[in-house]
Structure 1
Amino acid sequence: METVVSMSAAMMLLSGIGGTLVIATRATDPNLVPAAGTAAGISLVERLTSDLNYAVALPVQSPYMLEATVEDQDGDGLQESISYLWWSDTGELARGVGDADTLPIGEAAKLEFTYDSYNANEDGTTELQWLSLNKENTGPLAEAKLNGNNAYGVYFRPVLPTVAVAWSITRVRLWMRSEGNTNGALAMDVHSANDHSLPDVLIQSTSASEQDFQAEFAETQIKFTSIGRLAANRGACVTLRNIGSSTAGVLAYGTPSKTTPGSALLVSKDNGRSWELDPDSDLWIEVFGHYYDSRGNCFGSVYLTSVNVTMVAHESTDSVVRTLIPLRNQPRAILP
């Protein structure tokens, strides 16, 4: 049985993110016995909580790894880097500090982190951030090149509160890398869609240059400058296509055993003119946005991810510290 553990003690001010951090974690057992090489009597969750109490930034957040920059712990006056990832040999969660050896610290099927990043938007609104580490995600699983006529995307349909009459997508974060081209470029489009249908009406579009991507797989954020709204009962297809003269970048996606129920990979061989569904795979992608009430007011934030299924919506508040909806009460599937 999975147990939800609230890490309320891990509230802190992040100078790198610019806001209050609220973290919760889910593990198969919060009282795990530490593996060899860890401090006796300290459980996995206790170790994680202790590390994050000193965090000033989270520079790496991927489906298979979390890296935290923490304040000086050994007296040398320098900040340190602590990483959590899955130990591929045994399936245990491993912990590494700086350049020291990474050691397994305990068994867990999944860890999930939730935190609120304040002052994230120019208009003063805030958006929920989410990270889920899954035992099956031990590294970049597969690559999809945005070259020639190849185009990819993912379908979502959020489960929104009853007050919502519309929702929007403001930015997308995905895991990709550059192929080293100077003239590569991609277009990211948002289409309305129902159920697992293919892209319908174009809602909004933006573009990005491959020169802005890193050489290795890393999280890449793309923002929309013009925001359209979707009806609360409508889903969306977020698609990426090549618009340059060479490869526009390389996307990370999941294999059949890693796919998330309720989302689906979209594949096109003719640069987006026609699409096919690949229900056994998923892009590593996260979608951020808002939902709105009948008066058109922004009532809360929306978070969607194709990695390890999740959809979160919560009310806006002016309070400095926001109380998050408990993880166990969240809708666990994007679609019924």
Structure 2
Amino acid sequence: MDSNKLKSEAGLACPYLRPSIDAMVGYIPGEQPKPGTKIIKLNTNENPYPPSPAAIEVLRNLDSEWLRRYPDPYASEFRQAASEALGVPADWIIVGNGSDEVLNLVVRACAEPGRKVVYPVPTYVLYRTLTQMQSAENIEISYPEDYCLPIEELVAAKGVVTFIASPNSPSGHVVASAQLRQLASRLSSVLVIDEAYVDFAAETALPLVEEFENVIVLRTLSKGYSLAGLRLGFGIANPKLLAGLFKVKDSYNIDAIACAVGAAAMRDQAYKNECATKVKRSRAQLAVALKQLGFQLWPSQTNFLLAKPPQGNAEQIYLALKEQGILVRYFNQPGLEDKLRISIGTNEQNQMLITALITLT
């Protein structure tokens, strides 16, 4: 179902649903072209390089017994691999069907009508969607122009959950660990630090989970590990916090194949780091080329760039690029309507984008 159809059907009333669900607009993912479509896809921040050869080898040697039996309900093999890679105890890890599921677990465990979920905007729109699903109140606090974390406002909002994406999407900025530490020390509720793009960043907030029982750091294999199609993510937190999340987790939420493939990818940190280095190098080169075309850019520690065209005609350029078989992300929302989010592709893909933009700007 395409995004336009989803939008049109979102307003249709259904007497069988909860009123809050009937009234909300669901999360609308980025466009996904049909398999085999010849297109340059720079709109959903996938890694342009293939997954680890070790992960591919697991698929080649798939044991059919994995399909017959229920999987390990705790994804123990993957937890152990992540434990070894990150230097955290395995029982401090909860695995989800993408980090999106872990976000959902946190909201389901903590939020309900009369409770608040707080986050600075612009950021990942799914935070809003998950909050509305629980009929909780979402409090959105605007980032200032310099994207300095609005700590006072976040604390004053008194949410039962506070989400901070760092690095953030679509801005690409990282929140300094010192600011996150200050925020965590002043909150009496759960602080979720969403590090989906951390593999392309200069710092991580992971040490905070040892300092604060209310902090959970989220990771995903979709970006740095080139496994967006696998749907595997995880959270790291004190077992006291995780105990509540395990209560609301589906019994067998991680399939056996994802667990085995993800564990192999997690153990191959050298390959992941090599690909991340190539992405960061291409990010710098693409930034130079876009600036030469007059685009305004924001510093990025992710695998994408937030770019404002010289004429501010972001939607027009998005549509024109789409006609040429190049997908970038356009957000028709306040503060972003004149900007594009551009995923980092291979050097060849990035050059094709620049060539197309030369004729459009």
TM-score bucket of the superposed structures, by smaller chain: under 0.3
Greater fraction strand: 1
